[in-house]
Amino acid sequence: MDGNGRWAKKRLLPRIAGHKKGLEALQKIIKSAIKYNISTVTLYAFSTENWNRPSEEINGLMNLFSESINSETDKLIENNISVLVLGDITIFTKELQIKIKSLVKKTSKNTGLKLNIALNYGARSEILMAVNKATKKKSGVLLEKDLTENLYTKNMPDVDLLIRTGGQRRLSNFLLWQIAYSELYFIDTLWPDFSEKDFVNALYFFQNTERKFGNLKVDK
């Protein structure tokens, strides 16, 4: 969800105004994901590198996460969405940790869209965590499945389509293990301007891509 800061800057607004607008874009995209029967959506909401930002922006984002849990929990339940958090949340305030855990618990029985929110997430540390957990459980050679079972995304399918808004063509330490065979979709549109139409175009791109997984041809 890249481009919130630039969206705000263009309008001479503080960066947090861009994140607030980004949250509105997110609400629209979640509705579209349900409409188009997507099983899982994973959002990169806060990376391990985002701590380097000015404290004003970090505090603003933490407040936004906290306030959106207050305002959205009932809607998430009504829409049968289950929420999971990817990342180490122990660094957040006790209050925010409790809110996040309670949101995850309250939505855990929901059977509709799976919404993963990456918070204080970094793929390299996730992979390291998984390796360390796996070697504690098993001696000798590790298999791919030993690692996948210890990622935050355990029991989830690999990513089919990765969308990055905001014009940068890089992965920024996001789900590096899980995107080994993903289709990558980069769009210049800033996240707050990312519309349902843009989302559907990304889905068309995915639908029209022949996925080979290293073979000559795979039928979708």
Q: Where in 135-174 is the site for ligand FPP (CB under 6 A)?
A: 166
Specify the stretch interacting with ligand FPP by CB under 6 A; choose among 1-9, 75-83, 120-128, 210-218: 1-9
- Interface residue with ligand FPP, options 38, 58, 64, 147 (CB under 6 A): 64
Nearer to ligand FPP, 47 or 178 (CB): 47
x-or-dash pattern for ligand FPP, window 172-201, by CB under 6 A? ------------------------------
Nearer to ligand FPP, 72 or 126 (CB): 72
- Could you tell me the smallest distance in angstroms from the CB atom of residue 181 to ligand FPP? 25
Decide if residue 2 touches ligand FPP (CB under 6 A): yes
Q: Where in 11-40 is the site for ligand FPP (CB under 6 A)?
A: 19, 22-23, 26
Decide if residue 45 touches ligand FPP (CB under 6 A): yes
Nearest CA to 174 out of 162, 183, 186, 191 is that of 162
Question: Cα–Cα distance between 46 and 65 in angstroms, integer?
Answer: 10
Residue 79: active-site member: no
- CA torsion sign for 68, 71, 77, 78 is negative
x-or-dash pattern for ligand FPP, window 89-128, by CB under 6 A? ----------------------------x-----------
Angle at 161 between CA 155 and CA 163, to 5 degrees: 120
Decide if residue 65 touches ligand FPP (CB under 6 A): yes
- CA torsion sign for 187, 191, 193, 197 is positive
Residue 2: active-site member: yes
- Interface residue with ligand FPP, options 34, 38, 43, 203 (CB under 6 A): 43
- Residue 34: both structure tokens together: 């349900």
Kindly state the number of chain residues that form the binding site for ligand FPP, as judged by CB under 6 A: 19
Q: Cβ distance 182 to 158 under 8 Å?
A: yes
H-helix segments, the chain: 4-10, 15-35, 55-78, 94-107, 123-137, 144-148, 196-207
Tally of helices (H runs) and strands (E runs) in the chain = 7, 5
Q: How far apart are the first and last CA of the chain?
A: 27
Give residue 61's region: left, alpha or beta (phi > 0; psi -120 to 50): alpha
Write out the residues near ligand FPP by the rule CB under 6 A.
Answer: 1-6, 19, 22-23, 26, 43, 45-46, 50, 64-65, 68, 117, 166
Catalytic machinery residues:
2, 50
